[in-house]
Each structure stands twice: as structure tokens, then as C-alpha cells.
Amino acid sequence: MLYEEYFLVAGYLLSFVLFIVVFVLYNKNSMLKKKYEGIDDAEKAAQNILNEANLEKERILHDAFVELDNIKSTIRKIEEDKKIFESEFEEMRNDYKDKKYIYDDLLDKISIAEDKVEYIEMGFGNIDFEFDDVEDYKEAIIEIKSKQKEMAKNKIAVVCFADWKVNGSVREGKRMINENIKVTLRAFNNECDVIIDHVTWKNYSQSRDKIMKSFDFYNNYNKTPEIIISHEYLKLKLEELRLNYENQEKKQQIKEEQRAIREQIREEERFERDRIAAEKEEEKYKKLLKKAQEEAEKASGKKLTQLNEEVEKLAILLKEAEEKNQRAISMAQQTKAGHVYIISNIGSFGADVFKIGMTRRLDPYERVYELGGASVPFEFDVHAMIPCNDAPSLENKLHKAFEKYKMNLVNNRREFFKVSLNEIENQVKRENPKAEFIRTALAEQYRKSEALRKQRQEVAPLPMDKQFPNSL
């Protein structure tokens, strides 16, 4: 019982204490709420501000992205416009270059045309070359002509050492002098062109003299106005004459060299024809010999004797044909091999005149017979026929050794030399000690002709005034 009351009182006391604690806590909470009521409002305001700021940020970012897109679009358009502008500018620049080139070309052509007109007035025409003119001489002649034009352009080709007045006018005097200079230059140039165009080895000296005479004539003619063709300009004209002359000579030399090459080719072709002919001949005798041998094997008596004789003859002919074929093959293979010949023709050319030449023919005397054909009155005498492995080389050495004795100083293919046979023999034996010479020129037809001519003169009838009269 006592314990129950005790627990009851304790419960009341505990409840009171709890009431007091709750009351105190409530009051304290109310005080705290009042104390921190402003803070809650600030947080809410801050949250509101933050929310508004986020909204503003989103709006600003949205506007910024929109503006960025607009800027990018503008940039793309600007870049596209830039490309179009650059393309148009490049076209304009190329068009300008083309038109500038045409413009400059027209200016050059106008300048050239004006120069041509001026040069034509001074007697400078176009340079016409032939197709076979030597290239080096073409260039040299063009250069000489350019120097002449330059002198004329600079007014030093023809000069005037006096000042003239016309009707008291210095200007008119200068104009008159310039006209006289042009006329003089044109006349001198035209005369020189005619002379130079017709220069040959026959008239080179005369052509040079003609230019000098023309130079002296115009300088004497213009002595009173003191208009003089300069000596430097004269030198250029003489140099042009020399170049044209040498060009003609070189062309002739080239023609001769080409002729020699063609002759060599013909010789080589002849060797080949000789080889084929010799081969056919050998084959023919082989067949004939074989046939004769086969018939002899079957024959007897007199017929056998005849066939054996024929076999012997055919065997000899076959051997000769084989040797001929071998020579032909050798000559065809060694085109340099041949014969150097020393020949003379006293009746045609006189004493101590010798032709030194070469031939590649199997029979070298065929060439000598050809040379002694219808072009000369008598046959040639052979003084030496020298076989050698390099006939052109030996021929060339002999020609060089007797260069000063050449009868034709212009055409190198004319191989005649005015020299003693002793000198030729000595030179040949320096190259070929075994070479054999025939010193005596038979000149058979010539000597017989001379004898007949003398005989006819001896028996010729007396002139009419020396004969006996028919009657007293």
C-alpha cells in the first residue's frame, strides 16, 4: 500500500516536472522563433533572389547563344562574300595581266614597226637566208646587221660635221641634214646589199673593191655638206661581205663532203653487190662441178676423159670464185680497206701533175679506167697502186703532205698535185716502205698522137705560093 502511494506521488511529481520542462522548452522555442524569424525570411528572400538569378542567367545564356548563332551566320556570309570577292578579284587580275600583255605586245610591235619603217628608209631590208645556209654564219651575219642598225639608230653610221641653216632657220637646217643622211645611208646600203648578195669565190676581191669605191664616192659627193660615212660602218659592211663569202665557201665544202659521203655509200653498196655476185658465182661453179663429178663417175672411155678435164677446169674456176668471194666479203666487212693510187695523164695535164686518190673496188683499176673516160682526151698511167687496210687515212696523209702543191685551192675533192714523182714516192714509203712505183709514164695514146701529128705536119702540102705553077 505504502509503496503504491509512494509510486503514485512519484508519478505526480514526475508529471509536474515534465510539465515544467515542456513549458520551459515551449517558451524557449517561442523565444527562438521570434529571435530567428528574420533569418527564415532572409533565406526565403535569398532563395527567391537565387531563383530569379538562375532564371535571368538562363535568359541571358539563351540570348547569348542566339546572338552567337547570328554572329556565326554573319561570319559565314562574310567568308562566302570574301571568297566571291577573291574569285572576282583573281579574274580581274588575270584579265588585267592578259590585257597588259596584249598592250605591251602592241607597244613592242608598234615600236618594231616604227623601227622597221625607219630602217627601211635607211636601206635596211629583211635578211633572207637560203635553206642550206650555215647556221653559224647566219648568226654572225644577223649580229653584224644588228650592229649596223644600232649605229644607224645612234646616228654614228653617217655623221655631219657642219651646222646648216635654211632660210636662216637652224631647225630647218637640221631637218635637211637628217634627210641627206638618210638618203646617203639608204643609197650606200642598197649598193652594198647588191654587191654582197652576188659575192662568190670568183669575185670576192672585186666585190670588196666595189664597196670601197662606193664608200669613197658618197663621201666625196657629200664633201661640201660634210656628211661622211664612218670608217667603222665601212668595216661592218666589209665584214658582212666576208661572212657571206665564207658562208658560200662553207656551203660548197659541205656539198663536197656530202658528195664524198654519197660516193662512199655507193662504194659500200658496190662492195655488197660484188659480194652477192661472187657468192652466186661460187655457188654456180659448185653445182657445175658436182654435176660434172657425178657424170664422170658413170662415164667411161673418151667421155670420162672429157669430163675429167671439165672437172679440173671447174675446180680451178671454183677456187678462183671462192677466192673472189672471200675478197668481196673482206672488202664488204672492212669498208676502210682499199687501194690508194698515184696516176698521171701527161697528155691532158702535162708533166709532174699527179692525181692521188683511193678506191675500195675489188678491181682498183676499174676506177682508173673510169677516170680516163670521155672527160679527158687520154688514158691515165698508173705509177702506184697501194693496197692498205685504211685507205682513207693514207690518202688523207698524202693530201696533207702535198697541200701546198694542190692545183685547185678551192675544191678539196680535186685531188691533183703539181709535184715530182720522187717527192710522192718518198712520202709514200715513209708510210708504206713496201709500196712499189712505176716511174715511167707510158702515155701511149698521147705519144702516138704526137707522133702522128708530127708526121702529118711533115707531109703537109706546101702553101699555094710555094707550090710549082701548073704552067710557066
CA distance 236 to 175: 27
pLDDT at residue 190, as a whole number: 92
Say if residues 364 and 331 touch (Cβ distance below 8 Å): no
pLDDT at residue 35, as a whole number: 59
Residue of 267, 215, 230, 78 lying closest to 155 (CA atoms): 230
> What stretches of 350-390 show up as alpha helix (H) in DSSP?
365-371
Domain boundaries defined on the chain = 22-100, 135-256, 336-460
- Each of the 472 residues of the chain gets a pLDDT tens digit; together they read 544 555 565 565 666 666 676 666 666 666 666 655 555 566 777 777 777 777 877 777 787 778 778 888 888 888 888 888 888 888 888 877 777 777 777 666 665 555 444 444 444 445 554 444 567 788 888 898 889 888 988 888 888 877 776 677 777 778 888 888 888 889 999 999 999 988 887 788 899 999 999 999 988 888 777 888 999 999 999 999 998 888 887 777 767 766 765 676 677 677 777 778 878 887 887 888 788 788 777 777 777 778 778 778 878 887 887 777 777 766 665 567 788 999 998 888 888 899 998 887 777 888 888 887 767 888 888 898 998 888 888 888 999 999 899 888 766 667 899 999 999 999 999 988 888 888 777 787 888 888 788 777 765 554 545 444 454 4
> Cβ contacts of residue 243 below 8 Å, gap of 6+?
137, 140, 141, 144
CA distance 345 to 352: 9
Say if residues 345 and 256 touch (Cβ distance below 8 Å): no
Q: Quick check: helix, strand or coil at residue 259?
A: helix
pLDDT at residue 129, as a whole number: 43
Count H helices, E strands: the chain? Answer: 11, 6
Site of grid cell 633572207: 128
C-alpha cell at 104: 605591251
Give the orientation angle of helix 204-221 with respect to helix 231-298, to 10 degrees.
170
Instruction: Say if pTM beats, i.e. exceeds, 0.75.
Output: no
pLDDT at residue 119, as a whole number: 43
Q: Quick check: helix, strand or coil at residue 256?
A: helix
Say if residues 397 and 390 touch (Cβ distance below 8 Å): no
Widest Cα–Cα separation across the chain = 243
CA dist list (Å): 327 to 102, 283, 319, 337, 357: 71, 16, 12, 11, 21
CA distance 381 to 342: 9
> Cβ contacts of residue 277 below 8 Å, gap of 6+?
328
Chain centroid, CA 251 distance in Å: 16
CA distance 134 to 248: 9
pLDDT at residue 468, as a whole number: 42
What does the DSSP 8-state code read for residue 366?
H
pLDDT at residue 132, as a whole number: 45
